[in-house]
């Protein structure tokens, strides 16, 4: 499925859009939210995001390493390897 081009001007809400897309596309709907991931001024890395999404799932359909690559790729395509609220630019 194509990556949603919907973006929000706020990083937390934009992360929620990405998480909603992961839920719709891959059924990763365990309740991780953008606010859970953003910690002050610290960067959110692609690894932290990926681990949070996959750790929240009780069962993964298949190999975790394969899902790690796929989820990380979606994050990197949208934000690069890390993002902060201060540096976030949606467009």
User: Residue 71 belongs to what H/E stretch?
Assistant: helix 64-79
pTM of the model: 0.89
Higher-pLDDT residue of 41, 27: 27
Return the pLDDT at 58: 86
pLDDT band for 5, please (50, 70, 90 cuts). low
For residue 85, give the nearest of 15, 3, 6, 7 by alpha carbon.
Answer: 15
- List the helix and strand counts (H, then E) for the chain: 4, 2
Whether 44 contacts 38, CB under 8 Å: yes
pLDDT tens-place string over residues 32-88: 999 999 988 799 999 999 999 999 998 888 899 999 999 999 999 999 999 999 999
Whether 15 contacts 59, CB under 8 Å: no
Return the pLDDT at 52: 96
């Amino acid at each position: 499925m194509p990556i949603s081009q919907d973006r929000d001007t706020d990083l937390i809400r934009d992360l929620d859009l990405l998480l909603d897309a992961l839920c719709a596309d891959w059924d990763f709907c365990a309740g991780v939210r953008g606010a859970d991931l953003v910690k002050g001024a610290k960067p959110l890395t692609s690894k932290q995001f990926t681990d949070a999404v996959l750790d929240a799932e009780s069962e993964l359909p298949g190999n975790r390493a394969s899902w790690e690559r796929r989820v990380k790729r979606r994050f990197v395509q949208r934000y690069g390897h890390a993002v902060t609220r201060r540096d976030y630019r949606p467009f």
